[in-house]
Structure formats: C-alpha cells, structure tokens
Chain A
Amino acid sequence: MKRSTLSVLVATVLLAGLPSTSGAATEIQFWHAMTAVLGERVNEMAAKFNASQSDYVVKAVNKGSYPEALNAAIAAYRAKQPPHVVQVFEVGTQTMLSSGAVYPVYQLMKDNAVAIDWNDLIGPVKSYYSTGGNLYSMAFNSSTPILYYNKDHFKKAGLPDKAPTTWDEVEGMAKKLKAAGVKCPFGSAWPSWVLVENMHAYHDQPFADHSNGFDGLATSLKINGPFGVKMMELLARGAKEGWFTYGGRLNKGEALMTAGECGIFTTSSAYIGNLTRASEGKFTWATGFLPRLAGFPQGNSIIGGATLWVMKGAKPEEYKGVAQFFKYVASTENQAWWAGVTGYLPLTNAAAKALEASGHYAKNPNQKTAVNQMNTGKATPNSQGIRLGNFNSVRDAIEEQMENIFSGSKTPKQGLDDAVAKGNEILKEFAALYK
C-alpha cells in the first residue's frame, strides 16, 4: 500500500473514531463507485469534512462499479436499510427520478435552511440534473469527452503538433499515422457516449424524442437520421481501412491509449489523471476539442459522470448532516481542489475562477480543454443532456450494433435502425412502468 493511501486511511480511521467517543456525532452513509486514485480522493474529501466539524461523520464506502453501487442501493432500499447518500452515474438519472425513493436535493437544502447558490453551477451540469429548474441530485463528478493525441506518433508521421478539429482532419491524419506504422491511428473509449450521444449533442442533433427525455418520458431514439448514419459511415470506413481501431465497450478502449499505441483518441476529460501517470517518461501527449463534422450546426458536448442522490427513509437530524456535507462538497475550496486533483470539471463558476487565479490551468493546460470546449459550445435543447429510462440497456443496445457496424456485418443504416428498434422497445417498457 502506498504511503499516501495509508495516511488517508489512518486519518479516516482516526477521524471516524474520534467523534464516536464523544457519542454525539451522527453517522452518514455515503456509498460511491470511485476506485483507485479517485476512491482515495473521495475518502480524503470525507475525511476533510469530518475534520471540519464534530456533529457528523460521513462514512464513504466503495460499492464497486457504478451499476453495482446502484444495485446495492436498490437492494438496501428494498430491505429498508438505505444509505443516506448514493453516487449514481448519469445514465441512471431517469431511473432515480422515477423511483419515488429519493429526497430531492433542492428540497433537502431548503428544509434544512442551507443555502447554496445553484445559479453558480456551470450550465451543462445544472441542465442535466435539474427538473423544472430544481436540482434533484447533488452534482459531484462531471466530465465531458475531449480529444487526446500522442505527440510522438504525430512527429513520426510528419504531422504538425496540433489537434485535428474536424473529422475530415482526423481521417487524413489517421491515414498518415497508419502509413507511419502506428497500430491504433484513431481510437475511442465509451463508444456510445462519445461517438453517438455526444456527437449528436455536439452537432445540435436530437438523440431521442421529447427533447432527449427532458420534456417527458422519451419513447423513441433519433440516432438513425442523416447525421447518425454519416458519423457511422465514417467510422465504419475507418475500421475497414484500418485507421480506426475499435477497443471495446465502456472504457476498455482506454487501455490502447494508455499503452501508447494510439495516435488520436477520444474519451472523458477525467482520463487525464490516468494518462498523466501512465505516460510519464514514455510518451508525450496533448489535448484538443472534439472534432466537428462539416455541414452540421454547432451544439455542445454533454457531460457524463455521476451525482449524489439522497435516499428517503432516514431521520431528520441525519438529513441535516447530509445538507452540511453537500454544502462542503459545493464549496469553492473543495471544488477547486477536487477538479485540480481529478480532472473532473469544476462544478461552479467560482471554482473555475479560483483554479484560473491560482495558476493551475497555466500549469496544466490540458485540464482546461474540457472547460473551454463547454464554454465555446452552444446550449440548445439537444445539448442539455439525455435522460432516458433504462438508459444503461439502451446504451448497451447501441454499442452492440456499433460492433456489428464496425465489423462490417451490418451497414451503418441497418445497424442504427436495429439499435433504434431495440432501444425503443426498452424505452416503451420503461414508459409502461411509469404511465
């Protein structure tokens, strides 16, 4: 075990132990899905909050992956032993909203007379997690996809040290990278999130009906339109010609970039931390905005990550502690620290300013790419986010068909049509549950 981990652990144990001896501290269960470095940071955040006051003790508990944490919370809720706070990934948003098992965060803060300036939250985060202008879950870790490129491979291929800005450029550069012997000229992680969901929002294209599910339960996907087909045609061509390397579902593709095999790569901005660590002394890289497809309007990229949901069924004094904890989470001091050490977006404008003022971005320009990309984008109904019931299954149906498209066993149009048919069936099933 590393020394830093150990010290955090010791601190957590000590801090958790201290107040209980006084017998007055109220315990707050916080279930999360952050592992490795990110898990250490969450523990550190909880330890700092616990040290800052003596009335409440936040117990941060890792419950595995995002789906596992959600399942654990569901099982606990059904057994009438829910945690106070659970971290749920963005695709679980509609499931949580419909569940009837949550205590909306805006209500919690109002009931406990804790003021947070919600207007200071950055736009994309606020729009994704608000309903009727009210925040239902506490923004926690948000990221957006950006583009990474391996400078060493670019040099080898005789390319200028500059990120491609359009998909045409990606194709041209990737072909040169391939010719120069790069094994993975272009690659991507999170196939559905980056290449379908974000690409639609980024080009102001609808992903699903009812404004991507924000005006009511979505029942049909819109990803098989001209834009979606064109995007898939490009990638299918890349896979066939060998300048696009498919690296697997979820974030599995990141292994390729981490190993230094990719020339151009698209994935979450929160990947910066891992890449920094993995590339040290091995290769150099830089970041850029997501590429644009010519002939389609400007939208904005959307966020991924997770928020903190408060579960129903706890005592008022415990909720008071949750409100205090959230106040601490949203504080400029905590946000600036969190964004600085993780690569997630600072959730408030004040925190972004603080990071700028401290010279953090001047030292780590790659961490500013995501912020800049979101600030230069255009907020439209198509770029506020995507809110679907059973979104995890829908995403799975899309990634399944993307694989069929990339392998050439289905045409882009056929694959997308099939993804839409399967996705719609899943959406209708969810709508039938909550009609």
Chain B
Amino acid sequence: MKRTVFRNRWLPWALVAPQLAVTIAFFFWPAFDSLRLSLYRASPFGDRLIFIGAGNFERLLADPAYFRSVATSFVFSFFVTLVGLSVALLLASLANAKIRGLAVYRTLLLWPYGIAPAVAGVIWLFVFHPSFGVLPYLLSFVTAYQFNWFLKGWVALALIIVAAIWKQFGYNLAFYLAGLQAIPGSVLEAASVDGAGPIRRFFAITFPLLSPVTFFLFTLNMTFAFFDTFGLVHAVTQGGPGDATSILVYRAWKDGFDGLQLGYSAAQSVILMVLVIALTAVQFRYAEKKVTY
C-alpha cells in the first residue's frame, strides 16, 4: 500500500480537524453523557438528579421483558442482514447482466434507499393494514388465515423485517453492483473455458472476490438494524403487539422520550452501545480473516 507522507506536522491535523470536531460533538460527547446519565435517576426537567450507581442496569437486568427485547433485536438484525444481503446479491447479479433497459432497472432498484425510514413505514402501514390494506385484501382470496399483525406478534415482526430489508435494499445493491463490475471478465472467461458452470463460477470466483463488499455491508446492515430502524418501528407497530417488535433502540427511545425516564433510557443505550461495539469487534477479529482484499 502506498503511504502518503506529509512534510508539515500540522497539516494532517488541520485536514482531519473538521471531521474530528463533528465526531466529538455528535458521537463522543453524547455517548459520554449517556454513560454519565445512566448512573442517575433523573427528572424530566433536570431539577432532580439522584446518583443510583448501577440501579438502572439492575432494573433492566431484572426485567424479563428486556431480555425478550434483546432476543427480538438479534432475530431482527439477523434476518435483516442475512436475507437483505442475499436478495441484494442475487438481484445485483441479475442487474449486472447485459440486458436492454439496464439503467432503468438499476434506477428503480436503487429507489427505496432514498426514502426516510419513517416514510417507508407509513407506506408499508397502508399496504399491509389489516382492515384496509391492499395485501391483506388480496391474501383473503388465497387463504382464510388472518394476517392481523395488530394482534399477531410474529406477523408484525416479519412485516418490519421485510420493510427494513426493502428500505436498505438499494444501498446493498449499489455496493454489490460496483463490486461485481470490478471483477475482471477475463477471470470468469477463463473459468468458463475450464468448464465451470454459472453456479460454480459464482461460488468459486464471484463470491470470494466480493468478500470485502460483503463484509462491509454485513457490518453496516447490522448497525442499521440495531440503530436506524427506530423510525420504521415507530411508524408501523409502536413496538407491539404486546412487545413483539420492541427492539432495543425503540425501547430506549420510548422510555426516554415518551416515558421521560432519562437515566433508565440512557442505561439502555449504553447496553446497546456495548453490544454493537462487541459485535463489530468480533466481526473484525474473526470474519475479516476470511476476507480477501
């Protein structure tokens, strides 16, 4: 790898300063403030701040509902990441073929990414509304089963998983398309000459060569599923029915902003932060070894 050497000692610092300032102001400072607040029982208007040590954490860890929320979050991110990446890779392979009107297909496939999670949620809410949604109406001709996700937890969870995948799809597709185009055609042709079929070519050449992209998207999608899906849940299910779709980030928001239990909410975001740091570290430690750059 080529190293750039700066002669001036201060220039590199000056160049990264704006980014550092933004990171400190919007990431480190709030994160440390959450850490501090998580040790307190805090009143909404800030007039009472009672130090309770690990009290908020004890309250969380004694609550079976919190562990259900952890489990829901993992199920949610697992499916969003796995299914999301699989579908994106499949469609990227198809969109990489030389077909007529390719630009139109690509644009249409990238489209959903331009939509805010909350707006995506509202769209899905209308399509899937148990009483006046289009899909339940169509499904009623096929099966008598009531897909009422206002009351059926697994349907609600499946719905937000699919919505999150759809929302993130364009992003994944764009990276896979770029990755696919970077694979030299000569390698694939050589494999063809050696008698490898399309499936063999995909698993022996394309997929390994895409591993850096997959690794990057894997980390990013998981972070998306853990943090950015709040708007979606808020618009569609509000965590319900029961607590079937109450993922960690939504719970932290609800207890903090809706419930005004600030310390309790801060403790939840600290746990969430630790979880994601741990997951990312594990990925870099183990998964990255399988990545060929």
Q: Which residues of A line the B interface, CB within 8 A? A: 67, 70-71, 74, 77-78, 95, 98-101, 183-184, 239, 245-250, 255-256, 259, 261, 390, 392-393, 396, 399-401, 403-404, 406-407, 409, 422, 425-426, 429, 432-434
Contacts and interface: CB of A to CB of B under 8 A. Distances in A.
A433 B50 contact: yes
Contact of A67 (B50, B59, B258): B258
Given A78-B46, A403-B151, A409-B242, A261 B258 contact: no
A433 B260 contact: no
Nearest to A95: B44
Contact of B242 (A98, A404, A432): A404
Contact of B131 (A256, A390, A400): A256
A99 B239 CA distance: 28
Interface string B231-242: 000000011111
Contacts of B261: 390, 393, 426, 429
Interface in B26-41: 41
Contact of B257 (A71, A98, A248, A433): A71
Secondary structure at chain A's binding surface: helix, strand, loop or mixed? Answer: helix
A422 B63 CA distance: 9
A247 B150 contact: yes
Interface string B241-257: 11100000000001101
B257 A67 contact: yes
B279 to A, nearest CB: 28
Chain B interface size band reads 20 to 34
B131 A249 contact: no
A314 B125 CA distance: 43
Interface of B: 41-48, 50, 59, 65, 129, 131-132, 150-153, 238-243, 254-255, 257-261, 264
A429 B41 contact: yes
Given A407-B152, A429-B41, A392 B131 contact: no
A101 B44 CA distance: 10
B45 A433 contact: no
Q: Which 10 interchain pairs have the tightest Cβ spacing?
A: A393-B259, A403-B241, A407-B151, A99-B45, A404-B242, A101-B45, A100-B47, A403-B242, A78-B46, A403-B240
Nearest to B264: A429
B47 A101 contact: yes
B150 A261 contact: no
B254 to A, nearest CB: 7
Contact of A78 (B45, B254, B259, B260): B45
Contacts of B242: 400-401, 403-404, 407, 409
A74 B150 CA distance: 32
A49 B276 CA distance: 53
A396 B246 CA distance: 12
12 contacts: A74-B46, A78-B45, A98-B43, A100-B47, A184-B131, A392-B258, A400-B242, A401-B242, A407-B241, A429-B261, A433-B43, A433-B48
Given A99-B43, A248-B240, A404-B241, 9 more contacts: A67-B257, A71-B257, A77-B46, A98-B43, A247-B150, A249-B238, A255-B132, A396-B259, A400-B243
A67 B240 CA distance: 19
A432 B42 CA distance: 10
A98 B44 CA distance: 10
A399 B240 contact: yes
Q: Identify the interface centre among B41, B46, B258: most chain A CB within 10 Å of its CB.
A: B258
Contact of B259 (A246, A392, A404, A406): A392
Residue of B59, B129, B150, B152 with most chain A CB atoms under a 10 A cut-off: B150
Nearest to A399: B240
A249 B236 CA distance: 11
A331 to B, nearest CB: 31
Contacts of A74: 44-46, 260
